A and B are shown apart, each in its own frame.
Chain A
Amino acid sequence: MSAPAPTAAAPRSSAFGRATRSGGLALGVLIVVASIAAAVAAPWIAPFDPNAQDVLLVLSPPDTVHPLGTDAFGRDVLSRILWGARISLYVGFVATLAGVVIGTVIGVVSGYYGGLVDRLVVAATDVLLSFPQLIMGLLLVAVLGASLTNLIIAIAVTAVPAFIRMARGSTMAMRERDFVDACRALGYSDMRIMFLHVLPNILDELVVMASLWLATAIRTESTLAFIGLSVPPPTSTWGGIVREGFDNLLDAPWMSIFPSLAILAVMIGLNLIGDGLRDATDPRSPQ
């Protein structure tokens, strides 16, 4: 029998190659990485203690000492935004991660087995998805009480049904492929097939959706904080800082504008990443 040497398939541009060629993705990564770095480095780069009040410098407009001005208690807005980023981003990341993991596990299992369990899961997600996500978060925080953990739980719960749906659909599509049958014929356990074979093949789509959901999670947290359902004062997240500035919006607009811009920048960054990843992982997208 002849032994043909493996031939490299026609040069195939990798997902990574396509991703790095898209400028939007690079910009998105830059924005998000910068935000995370600023949040992590807050204790060292923040010029002031975010909770230190200075009664002599109340509602001071931006100047060289306080680049983003001060608030009604004379606290430095820049420092508060930097420290607030720690909580806003932390809540967003942890809540999304929890939502992705729980939603994916349920979705993969449900899509893989099908049957009665699957029908119940679908019905449950339909009910959950019929609540607007913000109302859902609002309800949960209102019931559980406003604390960091409860905030994360509330936001994670809103993400779970979306990821169940996505993972379930992708898993069902994968089940149509022969390799799942091949795995079963080889006597692999269902767990092994679901999490070592199906999951890696649907991970691309999940990562894209997770990056878009991260933006949603941060926005939800900001919204909840804006209406007062977030970590208790004096600590503040971005949404909280916007809220604090709201009473003096006409006199001291910097108090609300700068944290709003921070939220906006991260939203844009994450959406650029999500869209960029989607284009990069979609083999049909033009190169």
Chain B
Amino acid sequence: MTATPLLDIRDLRKIYKTRRGWPIPKTALVRALDGVSFTVGRGEALGVVGESGCGKSTVARVALRLQEADGGAVQFDGTDVLAAGKTDLRTLRRRMQMVFQDPASSLDGRQRIIDALGEPLRVHGIASGAAVKPAVVRLLDEVGLPPSAVDRYPHEFSGGQRQRIGIARALALGPDLIFADEPVSALDVSVQAQILKLLETLRRERNLAFVFISHDLGVVRYFCQRVVVMYLGRVVETGPVPEIFVDPLHPYTRLLKLSSPEPDPARAVAMAFQEGEPPSPVDPPSGCHFHPRCPIAVDRCRTEAPALRELRTGRHAACHLAT
């Protein structure tokens, strides 16, 4: 990793306002991102894991300026992303791309593949006229699809093939960084492995960096070099693979690991009863958000939010009790 990271996210904040209730609606603030910081190096795959509502998808959308941040800073290769004007943003978008979970929804069903992949090339002046088709064929080849795919529509492909098209589109502009939001979650295991292999090849051959958002620790362990664990809008642990999974420092990371089913009867998921519902991001618990579910919580955890501390080289956890 170089000294200056490719992507540097500092203290990122995003607040959603929800209005609920009748007849007098109450405005509630949901802190989807509550001071999130992490960095990604060139060619590095960073995993962002956590459960629904932890803010992991919001990070990608805010960093790509698909939604506006409410605070913090995002630096991409020295450029301030959040302050970028229209022209700068256009340049940035050639270098930061996104792959979505559901390729059926992320592709325009009325566009043939040649148009879906050719359009970004034309819009950004990378190819035009007769040069578009060979460029599209090259992209398709890179993701393992035959040239005959160009004249087809998205619905003519299987789920795995559609995800390959979604990846090809993200590659069209030659990015340095791809945000991948649960890119393999909607796929069957055998197809999921194909796509993971493809992404791994692309990462090595193109020296691509990834922010790989997933709820599946196994997938993240396979694909990523480093991991950020999020819980209710905050980062609770960061560290390299495999250490973070072999010896998790934060009790939430430990719970995630023990809850993830492995195909091994000797390691059945930890199914200890935890009573109650997981806390809602609308009304997060005081202090450490995780304390109501934490087996080792003490009084301090209920009042004081722990800061992310470096506990080992390159390993941080936000827990008063972790050592």
Residues of A within 8 A of B (CB): 1-9, 12, 177-179, 181-188, 192, 197, 200-201
Q: By the criterion CB–CB under 8 Å, are B66 and A184 in contact?
A: yes
Report the minimal beta-carbon distance from B153 to chain A, rounded to whole angstroms.
Answer: 9
Among the 9-residue stretches B102-110, B232-240, B295-303, B314-322, the one with 4 or more Cβ atoms under 8 Å from chain A is B102-110
Q: Which of A1, A186, A197 contacts B144 (CB 8 A)?
A: A1
Report the minimal beta-carbon distance from B121 to chain A, rounded to whole angstroms.
Answer: 10
Identify the interface centre among A9, A183, A186, A188: most chain B CB within 10 Å of its CB: A186
Q: By the criterion CB–CB under 8 Å, are B98 and A185 in contact?
A: yes
Complex contacts, B145 vs chain A, CB 8 Å: 3, 6
The complex places the Cα of A192 from the Cα of B108 at a distance, in Å, of 13
Q: Which of A1, A3, A5, A179 contacts B108 (CB 8 A)?
A: A179
Q: By the criterion CB–CB under 8 Å, are A181 and B100 in contact?
A: yes
The complex places the Cα of A197 from the Cα of B197 at a distance, in Å, of 31
Complex contacts, B123 vs chain A, CB 8 Å: 186-188, 192
| Chain A interface SS verdict (over half) | loop
Which 3 pairs, one residue from A and one from B, show the smallest C-beta to C-beta distance?
A: A187-B93, A178-B106, A1-B144
Q: By the criterion CB–CB under 8 Å, are B93 and A200 in contact?
A: no
Complex contacts, A197 vs chain B, CB 8 Å: 108, 111
- Any chain A CB within 8 A of the CB of B17? no
Tell me the B79-96 residues at the A interface (CB within 8 Å).
89-90, 93-94, 96
Residues of B within 8 A of A (CB): 61, 64, 66, 89-90, 93-94, 96-98, 100-102, 105-111, 119-120, 123-124, 144-146, 148-149, 152, 155-158, 160-161, 166, 169, 172-173, 194, 197-198, 201
Report the minimal beta-carbon distance from A197 to chain B, rounded to whole angstroms.
Answer: 5
Q: Which of B96, B158, B172, B194 contacts A2 (CB 8 A)?
A: B194
Complex contacts, A178 vs chain B, CB 8 Å: 100-102, 105-106
Q: By the criterion CB–CB under 8 Å, are A201 and B109 in contact?
A: yes
Identify the interface centre among A3, A183, A188, A200: most chain B CB within 10 Å of its CB: A3
The complex places the Cα of A187 from the Cα of B64 at a distance, in Å, of 10
Please name the residue on chain B nearest to A5 by beta carbon: B146
The complex places the Cα of A181 from the Cα of B94 at a distance, in Å, of 15
Identify the interface centre among A177, A187, A192: most chain B CB within 10 Å of its CB: A187
Other contacts beyond A2-B194, A181-B61: 13, CB < 8 A: A6-B148, A6-B152, A6-B161, A9-B157, A177-B105, A182-B100, A182-B166, A184-B66, A185-B66, A186-B172, A186-B173, A188-B119, A188-B123
Complex contacts, B166 vs chain A, CB 8 Å: 182
Q: By the criterion CB–CB under 8 Å, are A8 and B156 in contact?
A: yes
Supposing A1-B197, A9-B156 touch, asked if A179 and B93 sit within 8 A by C-beta, the answer is: no
Complex contacts, A201 vs chain B, CB 8 Å: 108-110
Complex contacts, B90 vs chain A, CB 8 Å: 187
Complex contacts, B109 vs chain A, CB 8 Å: 201
Report the minimal beta-carbon distance from A180 to chain B, rounded to whole angstroms.
Answer: 9
The complex places the Cα of A200 from the Cα of B108 at a distance, in Å, of 10
Q: By the criterion CB–CB under 8 Å, are B100 and A187 in contact?
A: no
Q: Which of A1, A179, A185 contacts B107 (CB 8 A)?
A: A179
The complex places the Cα of A200 from the Cα of B153 at a distance, in Å, of 14
The complex places the Cα of A257 from the Cα of B194 at a distance, in Å, of 71
20 contacts between A and B (CB under 8 A): A1-B198, A2-B144, A3-B145, A3-B146, A4-B144, A5-B148, A6-B145, A6-B152, A6-B161, A178-B102, A181-B98, A182-B107, A184-B66, A185-B64, A186-B93, A186-B123, A187-B123, A188-B123, A192-B123, A201-B110
Complex contacts, B110 vs chain A, CB 8 Å: 200-201
The complex places the Cα of A205 from the Cα of B215 at a distance, in Å, of 37
Complex contacts, B146 vs chain A, CB 8 Å: 3, 5-6
